[in-house]
Amino acid sequence: MEETLLLKDLNCPNCAAKIEDRIRKMDVVETANFTIATHQLKLTGSWEDREALKRDIQDICDAIEEGVTVADYERKSKAAMDDHDHDHGSDAVTIAVIVAGLLFMAYEGLTTVVPSIGLPESIETPIYYIAYILLAFPVLRIAGRNILKGQVFDENFLMSIATLGAIAIDALPEAVGVILFYRIGEFFEEKATDRSRTEIMNAVDMRPQEVRVVDTCCGGEIVVMAPEKVEVGSTIEVRPGDLIPLDGTVLEGETRVNTAPVTGEPVPVRAVPGTQLMSGCINESGRITMRVDKVLEESMVTKILDAVENAASSKPKIDRFITRFARVYTPIVVALALAVAIIPSLITGEWNKWIYTALTFLVISCPCALVLSVPLAFFSGIGNASKHGILLKGGRVIEALANVKAVALDKTGTITSGEFKVHSVETVGSHVSSSQLLSMAAAIEAVSTHPIATSIVSEAKEQGITVEASDFVQELAGEGMVGMTDGQQVLIGNRRLMERYNVQGYPTEAAEYGTEVLVAEGNTYLGRIIIADEARPDSAEAIADLNGQDIKTVMLTGDAEASANYIAKETGVSAVRAQLLPQDKLSVVQDIRSEYGPTMFVGDGINDAPVLAGADVGGAMGSGADAAIEAADVVFMRPSLTAIAHILDLSKATLRVAWQNVVFAIAVKILIMALGLMGYASMWWAVFGDTGVSILCILNSVRILRRN
């Protein structure tokens, strides 16, 4: 049984980790994953009463973090998300606190420089106490409530002990300053987190706010509707500049469609009646009407949003490591603070000095910067990939991609376009010209639906040749076709067909690349047509990018060695494995892994499902079909190899930023503790080491979203 719930107003990453851990230990729950970026709690288990499950989870939330609400997950419309309610009153109070605090800091600075302008102590001390109570009351209240519930090591408790301890050792101004700085930092940390979350979601949420439906019952009147209310079969209008709101088929009009928001493809494509369009693309030039083929929940814009949200809930190893680390980090630092307060004081008798140092340790012991920065970095990476038409199955996939040493590429449809085209026409002697040879072949092949025959007929038409199908055409299985043209017998086929009819003079060597179609008139050899599946225009550039990242590229194909080597030479592929049967690919990928290291396989995502599952990372090159999304770890919406180089580079950058955040946060905390022991770091430094570092890590994480 699966369930998705929302934990509203759960913004503390440390508390979220505790809640997730407690929920995971429930008897009826098998797995529980909370994503702070989306507030979604994904559960699997065997509960019977859903409402009882929600009540139990609510009790856990109430025991750990005040104000968290357990709600049913219901995806809001884009308009509703854009107009979400916000507690402006709470913001106003916080801003007032910040302004008052800035005045306090200005007063402190002035009295430090010019002591004579300070207020008398009899007036100043009560003002400090009033300021402390106003600033610290929410923190003290939550800390007291949590202590009664057995939740001790949270940031409210630590800040309460630290500031009350400062008051106890006659450091009242510093206690006020520290709680003020903490409240300011907490405010900006929350705003930075919310803004980052919103920016990432806006980048991947391409759902429309409204749809213009053509009311066929009222003379074609346009009715503006919410997208979730539009039914399959409805006719909708899409104006120039509008987003394609739902998946559908063009009925009227002609336009150019920018597919970059979905596929990352920068070149617009032509759309005419009958063209199927994906939602999320942009209508650039002409007005069109469309028939809706899929409702909003089944359209591409929702599939992309689902993929991103599901990917965010799949936590990487580094995230799980930091969560486990945070559970032991805070108690260890608190124990260390207790030791610092007591042991040196007993030796030196300087109780105030060492208690103050211990209070600095308490402030710095909150692990929020650590717990928050890692998932946000990975969520930014997932969002960036989605902007480039790449769907990931989760943070674990990013880690696996960052470690890839080799990429195994299926040739047909991945390195090549997957479409047969006439590569060249070769004639012998002066019997016929290349256009005459192509015309003769097309006349015979016009009655066949084979891909090779279709490519010959298409090439003839593209060259302006009128194709008239021959009469009396006979197809010989595995050999070719025989027909009559202008009273002459024409043979189109392979070497076995030439041998059958005793044709002389055809080449003894096979073509260097592609499939050769030999043409003869009677028993006179006239020439051959080379049919080839050509490399994509960007394949050579993309493979050069991969080679530049020290990634070994290996092409897998069932083609002959000569054809495979031709494509490899043309595109720069490092190695070739040719003449493979479909069942051979998995063992070949395993051999590549043994030779080079972690391996990514990229295929079509449908026929190559066993190989996709067997590789360290499976990538599906295609249009995002359901089967491809299910089979692969990575889905490339645009069939371009440049996306592979991009995602490998992006994954390395994402992992690098995540570790930067972790190392930076830990280093700052250790530095402040060390400076505190030496008497240089104050509690103000410690507050920066908590909230300030959190904000810097958040900003560092969001850089990934803007990466090209």
DSSP 8-state symbol, 504? B
**pLDDT tops 90 at residue 314:** no
pLDDT, one tens digit per residue, over 557-592 is 877 787 788 888 889 999 999 888 777 888 899 999
CATH of 2-74 among 3.30.70.100, 3.40.50.150, 3.10.530.10, 3.40.50.1390: 3.30.70.100
Catalytic one among 56, 205, 247, 410?
410
pLDDT, one tens digit per residue, over 477-532 is 878 899 988 788 899 998 889 999 999 888 877 777 778 899 999 888 999 999 88
Which span out of 160-164, 314-318, 454-458 was modeled with the highest average pLDDT? 454-458
Q: What is the CA radius of gyration of the chain?
A: 34
pLDDT band of 607, cuts 50, 70, 90: low
Q: Cite the residue boundaries of each domain of the chain with CATH code 3.30.70.100.
A: 2-74
Q: What pLDDT was estimated at residue 137?
A: 87
Average pLDDT of the residues in 359-371: 76
Distance of alpha carbon 158 from its chain centroid, rounded? 36
Active site residue 194: no
pTM of the model: 0.74
Question: Residue 469 and residue 471: Cα distance in Å, rounded?
Answer: 7
**pLDDT tops 80 at residue 471:** no
Give how far Cα 163 sits from Cα of 126, 132, 171, 272, 598, Å.
16, 9, 9, 70, 51
Which residues, including other chains, have CB under 8 Å from residue 224's CB and lie 6 or more apart? 210, 211, 212, 213
First to last CA, the chain: 40
Half-sphere exposure of 432 (CA within 13 A, CB side): 20
Between β-strands 524-535 and 599-603, what pairing exists: parallel, antiparallel or unpaired?
Answer: unpaired
| Residue among 222, 382, 361 nearest 313 (CA) | 382
**pLDDT tops 70 at residue 389:** yes
Instruction: Tell me the residue ranges of DSSP E strands in 486-636.
Output: 488-493, 515-521, 524-535, 552-556, 575-577, 599-603, 617-621, 634-636
Distance of alpha carbon 649 from its chain centroid, rounded? 13
Q: What pLDDT was estimated at residue 86?
A: 47
pLDDT, one tens digit per residue, over 38-86 is 788 989 999 988 899 999 999 898 888 778 899 988 766 555 554 444 4
Q: Please tell me the least confidently modeled range out of 56-60, 215-219, 233-237, 449-453.
A: 215-219
Question: Residue 649 and residue 401: Cα distance in Å, rounded?
Answer: 9
**pLDDT tops 60 at residue 404:** yes
Distance of alpha carbon 338 from its chain centroid, rounded? 44
Q: Residue type for 590, please?
A: Q
Average pLDDT of the residues in 446-471: 87
DSSP 8-state symbol, 566? H
Q: What pLDDT was estimated at residue 678?
A: 85
The sign of the torsion formed by the CA atoms of 432, 438, 439, 441 equals positive
Average pLDDT of the residues in 375-391: 85
The sign of the torsion formed by the CA atoms of 318, 323, 327, 332 equals positive
pLDDT band of 630, cuts 50, 70, 90: low
Compute, in degrees rounded to 10, the torsion defined by CA atoms 396, 397, 398, 403: 100
Which residues, including other chains, have CB under 8 Å from residue 531's CB and lie 6 or more apart? 420, 421, 422, 423, 452, 455, 456, 514, 515, 516, 517
pLDDT band of 91, cuts 50, 70, 90: low
Q: Cite the residue boundaries of each domain of the chain with CATH code 2.70.150.10.
A: 211-242+247-293
Which residue has 């900006």 as its token pair? 188
- What's the fold here for domain 211-242+247-293? 2.70.150
More confidently predicted of 144 and 219 = 144
| Residue among 181, 164, 286 nearest 237 (CA) | 286
Half-sphere exposure of 67 (CA within 13 A, CB side): 8
Q: Cite the residue boundaries of each domain of the chain with CATH code 3.40.1110.10.
A: 417-534
- What percentage of the chain carries pLDDT values higher than 90? 24
- Give the CATH class of 417-534: alpha beta
Q: What pLDDT was estimated at residue 244?
A: 93
**pLDDT tops 60 at residue 606:** no
Half-sphere exposure of 544 (CA within 13 A, CB side): 8
Q: What pLDDT was estimated at residue 623?
A: 53
Q: Please tell me the least confidently modeled range out of 139-143, 279-283, 303-307, 540-544.
A: 303-307
